[in-house]
């Protein structure tokens, strides 16, 4: 498999090269040159396969020229050593619980897979690499924990000051070792802009070997497609085509789902569910994309005003808005709607939703028109990561898993910067000199 840039000005590269580069030199995002379509027999076998076996089979066409089968299998079984259960909530509504990994968020899947791919590639070439990543919440903790202690890899995490929950912040600012947290005086969009500026800086890239762990990196994006296949397999009915609602911020999760559909996964359609940062639902409605500064909400991981992965979605559909609309509908929800949903779902079912998962649920019940069609929404974070909001609406504090509670007693370690790229550049170059 070769990978090309969404901007079309970079020669095709291998999976290894795409992972190490992170972003294409022409500032585009890497996408597969072609998406493989699995035969019908594959889908008949899916219900009998394990989570790891499904992930291996889906990944293999994308990595086979760069990862030997035994290496790929080792990466998958080590990275994805936690379950992703499909839970029946009510009627035809199902929850895909993506928060059973080490940091209790869906991003553990992509971050752990990517960390192991990068460790393998950097060990082979014998070079040190610096991972730059912007986070609005869970990406930081997932990446930090995925790369913690990995030899030959340093991680620099940029996050917006005062705009992530305390638990999220503690998860990636208290680790030390090869993890550096940079607190930016700005928004997530500022953090993402600064990271992109670093990749576009020829001088910096000539001095420091940098890559990305955001979903702009194909190794973060690809493994997120695995769990769509696993969710469908858990429905246990090869004849059904579910509607899948995806709480969306930077739109990596939705992009991965659409890739799965292009690979042949039987899906009736997707719902792109957002908070009031609704530039993509507006794009789906009007055909005009108008990015703008993000607005802070209780669903902070979705506070994105210019989502990177829309470029991949548009490329996948040849920039044809009518074709995108065939597979995706959009909707957005105000904060009070999110809070009401957390409360009502708990009162009616006893199930606790975090704010992001509540948006996924709202998207499903809003857009699921056929009562006989199964619906799945993605639960992207454990409710304990947003215990203040959840407790306010349910009257109960979520149980805090031990691996989350222990980080609360550790000391925060950060470097503070403004929202100017020059500060980060100077820091990285100075760090390089001191090594």
Tokens read off for 75:
């990466």
165 token code pair: 């929950």
Distance from C-alpha of 47 to C-alpha of 382, rounded to nearest angstrom: 26
Calpha distance 184→197 (Å, rounded)? 15
Length of the chain: 435
Burial class (CB in 10 A: 0-12, 13-18, 19+), 90: exposed
Q: Under a CB-based contact definition with an 8 Å cutoff, are residues 163 and 187 in contact?
A: yes
Catalytic residues: 107
Q: Which residues of 57-69 are buried (b: 16+ CB within 10 A; e: fewer)?
A: bbbbbbbeebbee
Q: Give the pair of three-digit tokens for residue 192.
A: 């993402």
Q: Alpha carbon of 144 to those of 34, 220, 372: distances in Å?
A: 31, 13, 42
What's the farthest any 2 CA atoms get from each other in the chain?
Answer: 63
β-sheet bridge partners, residue 211: 131
Q: Residue 199: in which H helix or E strand, if any?
A: helix 188-199
Contact indicator for 100, 51 with CB cutoff of 8 Å? no
Answer whether 133's CB lies under 8 Å from 156's CB: yes
The residues that bridge with 375 in the sheet, in sequence order, are 93, 243
Taken in order 238, 241, 247, 250, the sign of the CA dihedral is: positive
């Amino acid at each position: 498999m070769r990978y090309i840039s969404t901007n079309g000005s970079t020669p095709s590269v291998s999976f290894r090269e795409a992972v190490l580069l992170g972003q294409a030199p022409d500032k585009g995002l890497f996408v597969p040159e072609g998406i493989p379509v699995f035969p019908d027999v594959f889908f008949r076998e899916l219900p009998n396969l394990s989570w790891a076996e499904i992930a291996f089979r889906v990944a293999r066409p994308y990595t086979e020229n760069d990862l030997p089968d035994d290496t790929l299998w080792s990466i998958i079984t080590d990275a994805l050593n936690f379950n992703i259960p499909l839970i029946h909530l009510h009627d035809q509504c199902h929850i895909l619980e993506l928060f059973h990994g080490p940091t209790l968020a869906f991003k553990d899947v992509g971050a752990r897979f990517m960390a192991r791919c990068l460790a393998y590639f950097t060990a082979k070439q014998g070079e040190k690499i610096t991972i730059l990543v912007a986070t609005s919440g869970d990406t930081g903790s997932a990446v930090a924990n995925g790369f913690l202690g990995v030899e030959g890899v340093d991680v620099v995490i940029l996050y917006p000051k005062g705009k992530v929950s305390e638990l999220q912040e503690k998860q990636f600012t208290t680790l030390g070792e090869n993890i550096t947290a940079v607190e930016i005086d700005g928004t997530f969009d500022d953090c993402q802009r600064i990271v992109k500026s670093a990749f576009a800086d020829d001088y910096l890239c000539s001095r420091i070997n940098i890559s990305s762990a955001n979903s702009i990196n194909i190794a973060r994006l690809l493994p997120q497609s695995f769990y769509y296949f696993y969710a469908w397999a858990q429905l246990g009915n090869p004849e059904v085509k579910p509607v899948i609602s995806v709480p969306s911020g930077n739109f990596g999760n939705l992009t991965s789902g659409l890739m799965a559909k292009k690979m042949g996964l039987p899906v009736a359609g997707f719902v792109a569910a957002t908070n009031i940062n609704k530039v993509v639902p507006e794009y789906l409605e009007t055909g005009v994309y108008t990015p703008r500064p993000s607005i802070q909400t209780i669903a902070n991981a979705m506070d994105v005003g210019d989502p990177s992965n829309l470029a991949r979605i548009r490329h996948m559909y040849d920039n044809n808005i009518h074709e995108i609309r065939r597979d995706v509908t959009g909707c957005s929800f105000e904060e009070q709607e999110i809070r009401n949903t957390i409360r009502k779902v708990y009162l009616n079912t006893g199930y606790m939703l975090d704010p992001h998962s509540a948006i996924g649920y709202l998207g499903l019940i809003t857009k699921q028109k056929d009562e006989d069609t199964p619906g799945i929404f993605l639960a992207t974070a454990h409710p304990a990561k947003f215990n203040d909001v959840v407790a306010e609406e349910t009257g109960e504090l979520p149980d805090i898993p031990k691996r989350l509670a222990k980080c609360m007693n550790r000391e925060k370690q950060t470097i503070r910067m403004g929202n100017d790229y020059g500060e980060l550049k100077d820091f990285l170059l100075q760090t390089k000199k001191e090594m």
